[in-house]
Structure 1
Amino acid sequence: MAKTEKNDLFDYTEDSIKSLDWREHIRLRPGMYIGKLGDGSSPDDGIYVLIKEVIDNCIDEYTMGYGKQVDITINEKSVTIRDFGRGIPLGKVVEVVSKINTGAKYDSKVFQKSVGLNGVGTKAVNALSTYFKVTAYREGKEKTAEFERGVLTKEHKENKTTEGNGTMVTFIPDDTVFKNFHYIHEYLDSQLWNYCYLNAGLVMNFNGKKYVSKNGLLDLLQRKTNEDELRYPIIHLKGEDIEVALTHENQYGEEYYSFVNGQYTTQGGTHLAAFREAVVKTLRDFYKKDYDAADIRASICAAVSVRVQEPVFESQTKTKLGSQVVYEGGPSMKNFVGEFMSKELDNYLHRNPTVADSLKKRIEQSERERKELAGIKKLANERAKKANLHNRKLRDCRYHHNDEPSGRDKDAIMEKAKESTIFITEGDSASGSITKSRNVETQAVFSLRGKPLNCFSLTKKVVYENEEFNLLQHALNIEEGYEGLRYNNIVIATDADVDGMHIRLLMMTFFLQFFPDLVKNGHVYILETPLFRVRDKKQTFYCYDEVEKQKAIKKLGGKPEITRFKGLGEISPEEFARFIGPEMRKQPVIVEQGDHVQQLLEYYMGKNTQERQEFIIDNLRVELDLAEETAAAATEEK
């Protein structure tokens, strides 16, 4: 037997070499094309990338001056996107969505500053959809083609039409690839607003809601900030191929929204690095003082958008720009952004001395706060270093979000890094169950002792004075900023009782108060675990609410055994493994468009106001209400 295995190992012949067609390659390695294969609970999950790939083509048409409207409809899992651009040439409808390296974007005269240049986008959507339909409307004629998982099932003949020029795509993501997926409309809402901010005048309609922006990035920052908390009015600067908006708030951290050719680069890149550097240099030169870069950028909220000819991204999902120059033979990204800022921001501050004075006061306040923290920060970090040598609170994993992989296994390591997760648990019993059942390669556990401090309205000094908070920020590697984040997913895992809910609120307050960019960039989640186990001798169902429990009882019939889990510690490690595995349910913590962090915290975590008391009384749910909901759900099921 051993001899046969050895022979097989070296049996490397012509038969070993396989050539995959475009469809097979995309389906075999979907992560290469659309990133994470999540269930929709994360904003960078593949189901949102599929929508983005289709809309990007619509935006490219708009950018070239064709079509001012895009209509998006999502009905359960079916997505339809219609633009009013030129429409795909009718003779090429099938090829454009099913042949790699087919498209107009290789001719840079047609698409000078396009988002998608590789001709893969809609092909990936096609290959990863159980149903895909494309219709091109062009000069009074239409042509339709239908596919299943990338395979052409029906090519319609050309017909006459009264529809205006453009393209309509309908697709249903493949649920064997994206298991148990669902769309979170807040993510789509944010995605569509970003398109509008970057394309002033473009109208987008999503399930009956209209999106349009007149003032570009100025509108974005007005929506993301609270006017009452701004230190000075938003500075809005525009030039050829660049637009910038910036201000300073009272919150901790730095908050950036960066874009390239209309693409939201969530991981930044060369343009954002150039912008951060340019802000520091320009303000040092203007005030003629060598301020610390951290003091200048503390509490900044900014958006920067650039247009680049044939951009180079570091991945197919285009979340990080790698281009070093704006166009071939043109200026470097660093010089392009730096020269724009040194001229336009300097001019603005000279013309607006009141703004210049307020900005200077904000920088000097940050400087004072940093110096006040210096002493306690040094002591706290020394304690943290000692604790990290044998940190009983943290059970670490092997792969981390900030890993910089290289070599032959680079892609595999990057995938593991995206999956890196830290569970923040309460007490020893809960952390014990998770620790025993976790994936040690990608899942870490941090144990809390009792209830953490309510840190609303406190200064960052408390993060260093409180040993637990200090150890947590070191475990996450976020003390010096968001860029070094060690885990892609921060999952708060508490019991589903009153104390557990309170701990959730306290931890969310900690992140929103001191590290709001973690929440705003979609890294913080709440773990959902089942409340009930319903089983008989043949089947077991885990139910997350009363409605699911009643459905399980009905399926099993008779008198099944029902267990109510009061805490995470009651769930055995063997059972727990399935709740934190590939089909883990986690609820993202989302700050909705227009919500302002300090107002939210003051309402929910501040002094017990009359307003909050009235909200609680008006929204109390008693057992009778729950019973009625369950009965209604059961009736609907019948």
Structure 2
Amino acid sequence: MSQETKYTEDNIRSLDWKEHIRMRPGMYIGKLGDGSSPDDGIYILLKEVLDNSIDEYVMGAGKTIEISIQGNKVIVRDFGRGIPLGKVVDVVSKMNTGGKYDSKAFKKSVGLNGVGTKAVNALSSFFRVESTRDGKSASAEFEQGNLINQDLLDDTSRRKGTKVSFIPDDIIFKNYKYRNEYVEKMLKNYVYLNTGLTIMFNGEKYFSENGLKDLLEENINESDMAYPIIHLKGDDIEVAITHSKTQYSEEYHSFVNGQNTTQGGTHLAAFREALVKTIREFYGKNYEASDVRKSIVSAIAIKVTEPVFESQTKTKLGSTDMGGDLPTVRTFVNDFLKTNLDNFLHKNPETADKIQRKILQAERERKELSGIRKLAKDRAKKASLHNKKLRDCRVHFGDTKNDRNLESTLFITEGDSASGSITKSRDVNTQAVFSLRGKPLNSYGMSKKIVYENEEFNLLQAALNIEESIEDLRYNNIVIATDADVDGMHIRLLLITFFLQFFPELIKEGHLYILQTPLFRVRNKKETIYCYSDQERRDAIEKLKPKPEITRFKGLGEISPDEFVNFIGENIRLDPVMLDKDMSIENLLEFYMGKNTPDRQEFIINNLKVELDIVEEINEN
């Protein structure tokens, strides 16, 4: 007879605020990560602290914010009103404590539930807050949310404001490091949305005069714009619109109360709908919605009273109304575009003409593709019934109700042995595998037709669910996992070319990565060390001397599933694929993937590295 598990008062455990945050960090900051992804937790910690300083600026207090990141220590200093001195400890360590419950003080702020800085405090090995106002200063220091020191200065000449310093706890965030590229993008978005605000980051100044117009100029080369940016501003709304000459897909940057809603929401859905409606009415033609929006590059920012987001990390707006007596988000956005975009097009016939030509070009291309698209969809349907290429996972990026949705990952790998190892060692909840057969096609210079004609590209597009737009993207992380040899490098290059050519916003939005896999295994009878570089190999040999066993991994297929789990679990190492804003996609692809040019030959010769010395050293050992 089976023994029944006892369920008594002893089983009921009440966690205090910091224990709960540390035990369930995903509920508060999304995923953890190591800093290789823009939505990793260490950036959310910075954002939570920064949001408070931004809200001070919005309230008219302090025009400059200073940020310093040296190693793992982050310092954020604003010159706002300063936290009331008697509440310095409470504000960063008591749940549901904050100034933003008083809607008069903070009408349209981002942080409404008083959780942000408490989460930063609980998840930091060191956290210090210091507030100065009325010639007095109060400070408090914490470790993992526990108060260890507090101080009150009755007389100080320091400028008023708040200074927060913290070090993310390496017990929670393993092997992490801040990447300046992601921090810079976050800060640029803040200044685009708060014209007149100056942010100093490690001594560099960020400032914007033209808001979302500046944002679009950062994201699209002037030479690639089909027409000059349309920039429209109103009470609680701002939009910027242009079309790309070369990009196939739609690209949107959306914001609510200064928060970058990377997964869109009701405001973005309203914008896409209102844009089509306004254009149709202006030209008096019932154009296909996809033709109107094809190649669009745009941004929308709105301000909502007490917004409702679909997750704590505020990446998707759920609010249907603007708050108070105001209309719904849909009506508000629609009315604004109907009036302002229509007026703009009447006053700027040259731009209106270019937009119409862009729509007609999209219509022609769609009709040319329609036959092949239908064939490809039928083929993909049949293939998906017995599709060996995709081994799916259970949680997907669009599942905003699941706090693991940001971990959803698709590994693109080559060959049966490599995909077999990943498939056997992956987390079936969040990690899917797409297996290529040999090298993909070089798609440089080809039209979108090739995506449907080439079975692998078509199935990959279907697996990612990005044919219409990346709004329905099924995986937050797309990871190219190939061997670290010449063939593996070539496959990486061909896949990156495919994404740059047809879906560049996947790269712009930080979804594409290269999986780092170990080059060497160094072990003795007591310990095994996996080495990702020659330096790590030398360090491991030194540590495990006198005569450790050294194995050089030639391909992923050589690594057993039991070992592979170490490289795609919590210690996964990813290199993000990033775009250099100073080089257009067209020039980039031409240089690397076009016909052999003297420039490229010279580049290869100058950057060629020989492994002979490494091989000799291994033989010696």
**TM-score scaled to structure 2, two decimals?**
0.96
Q: In structure 1, how many angstroms separate the alpha carbons of the residues matched to 2:329 and 2:434? A: 40
Deviation at 1:624, TM superposition (A): 9.0
Q: In structure 2, how many angstroms separate the alpha carbons of the residues matched to 1:210 and 1:510? A: 35
Write the letter of the residue equivalent to 1:88: I
Q: In structure 2, how many angstroms separate the alpha carbons of the residues matched to 1:624 and 1:376? A: 49
The range that moved more, 47-56 or 606-615, is 606-615
Corresponding position: 1:361 with 2:349: no
Deviation at 1:615, TM superposition (A): 2.6
Q: In structure 1, how many angstroms separate the alpha carbons of the residues matched to 2:369 and 2:144? A: 57
Corresponding position: 1:228 with 2:223: yes
Counterparts of 1:57-136 in structure 2, within 5 Å, are: 57-136=52-131
* Distance verdict in 2 for CA 1:544–1:228, change over 3 Å: same
Match of 1:602 in 2: 590
Corresponding position: 1:264 with 2:252: no
Q: In structure 2, how many angstroms separate the alpha carbons of the residues matched to 1:597 and 1:366? A: 20
User: Equivalent residue of 2:125, what SS?
Assistant: strand
Corresponding position: 1:172 with 2:167: yes
Match of 2:242 in 1: 247
Corresponding position: 1:324 with 2:320: yes
2:411–2:481 contact (8 Å) kept in structure 1:
yes
2:239–2:298 contact (8 Å) kept in structure 1:
yes
1:224–1:596 contact (8 Å) kept in structure 2:
no
Counterparts of 1:415-494 in structure 2, within 5 Å, are: 415-494=403-482
Q: In structure 2, how many angstroms separate the alpha carbons of the residues matched to 1:240 and 1:416? A: 36
* Distance verdict in 2 for CA 1:348–1:448, change over 3 Å: same
Deviation at 1:329, TM superposition (A): 1.8
Counterparts of 1:576-591 in structure 2, within 5 Å, are: 576-591=564-579
Task: Quote the sequence identity (%).
Answer: 66
Deviation at 1:182, TM superposition (A): 1.2
Which residues of structure 2 form unaligned runs of 5+? none
Q: In structure 2, how many angstroms separate the alpha carbons of the residues matched to 1:517 and 1:145? A: 43
User: Equivalent residue of 2:99, what SS?
Assistant: coil
Q: In structure 1, how many angstroms separate the alpha carbons of the residues matched to 2:163 and 2:398? A: 39
* Distance verdict in 2 for CA 1:156–1:27, change over 3 Å: same
Corresponding position: 1:395 with 2:391: yes
Deviation at 1:591, TM superposition (A): 2.0
Deviation at 1:614, TM superposition (A): 2.7
Q: In structure 1, how many angstroms separate the alpha carbons of the residues matched to 2:35 and 2:169? A: 13
Deviation at 1:16, TM superposition (A): 2.8
The range that moved more, 131-140 or 352-361, is 131-140
Residue deviations 1:190-213 (CA, integer Å, cap 9, x gap): 000000100111111111211111
Match of 1:636 in 2: none
Q: In structure 2, how many angstroms separate the alpha carbons of the residues matched to 1:353 and 1:102? A: 53
Write the letter of the residue equivalent to 1:300: I
1:48 to 43, 50, 69: 43
**TM-score scaled to structure 1, two decimals?**
0.94
Deviation at 1:481, TM superposition (A): 2.0
1:18 to 13, 16, 19: 13
The range that moved more, 445-454 or 432-441, is 432-441
The range that moved more, 188-197 or 617-626, is 617-626
Q: In structure 1, how many angstroms separate the alpha carbons of the residues matched to 2:146 and 2:423? A: 44
Match of 1:138 in 2: 133
RMSD: 1.7
User: Equivalent residue of 1:73, what SS?
Assistant: strand
Residue deviations 1:262-306 (CA, integer Å, cap 9, x gap): 111111111111111110000000000000000000000001111
User: Equivalent residue of 1:117, what SS?
Assistant: coil
Q: In structure 2, how many angstroms separate the alpha carbons of the residues matched to 1:240 and 1:24? A: 42
Corresponding position: 1:619 with 2:569: no
Match of 2:269 in 1: 273
Residue deviations 1:391-412 (CA, integer Å, cap 9, x gap): 12222223333347xxxxxx5x
Deviation at 1:466, TM superposition (A): 0.7
Match of 1:407 in 2: none
Write the letter of the residue equivalent to 1:208: G
Deviation at 1:517, TM superposition (A): 1.9
Q: In structure 2, how many angstroms separate the alpha carbons of the residues matched to 1:528 and 1:420? A: 18
Write the letter of the residue equivalent to 1:94: V
Which residues of structure 1 form unaligned runs of 5+? 405-410, 631-638
Match of 1:33 in 2: 28
Deviation at 1:537, TM superposition (A): 1.5
Q: In structure 1, how many angstroms separate the alpha carbons of the residues matched to 2:548 and 2:193? A: 56
* Distance verdict in 2 for CA 1:237–1:594, change over 3 Å: farther
1:215 to 186, 205, 210: 210
1:376–1:465 contact (8 Å) kept in structure 2:
yes
Residue deviations 1:425-463 (CA, integer Å, cap 9, x gap): 111221122122222232222111111111112111001
Corresponding position: 1:315 with 2:315: no
User: Equivalent residue of 1:311, what SS?
Assistant: coil
Match of 2:301 in 1: 305
Match of 1:341 in 2: 337
Write the letter of the residue equivalent to 1:127: A
Corresponding position: 1:540 with 2:524: no
Match of 1:380 in 2: 376
Corresponding position: 1:351 with 2:339: no
The range that moved more, 489-498 or 154-163, is 154-163
2:31–2:404 contact (8 Å) kept in structure 1:
no
1:163 to 158, 161, 175: 158
Match of 2:489 in 1: 501
User: Equivalent residue of 1:105, what SS?
Assistant: helix
Write the letter of the residue equivalent to 1:206: F
Write the letter of the residue equivalent to 2:522: V
Q: In structure 1, how many angstroms separate the alpha carbons of the residues matched to 2:373 and 2:248? A: 16
Write the letter of the residue equivalent to 1:545: S
Match of 1:635 in 2: none
2:264–2:471 contact (8 Å) kept in structure 1:
no
User: Equivalent residue of 1:132, what SS?
Assistant: strand
Match of 1:564 in 2: 552
1:85–1:165 contact (8 Å) kept in structure 2:
yes
Residue deviations 1:299-324 (CA, integer Å, cap 9, x gap): 00001111111111111111111111
Deviation at 1:154, TM superposition (A): 0.4
Match of 1:153 in 2: 148
Aligned residues: 615
Deviation at 1:550, TM superposition (A): 0.3
Deviation at 1:13, TM superposition (A): 2.9
Write the letter of the residue equivalent to 1:290: N
User: Equivalent residue of 1:187, what SS?
Assistant: helix
Deviation at 1:568, TM superposition (A): 0.8
Q: In structure 1, how many angstroms separate the alpha carbons of the residues matched to 2:81 and 2:582? A: 35
Write the letter of the residue equivalent to 2:152: K
Q: In structure 1, how many angstroms separate the alpha carbons of the residues matched to 2:582 and 2:345? A: 28
* Distance verdict in 2 for CA 1:559–1:529, change over 3 Å: same
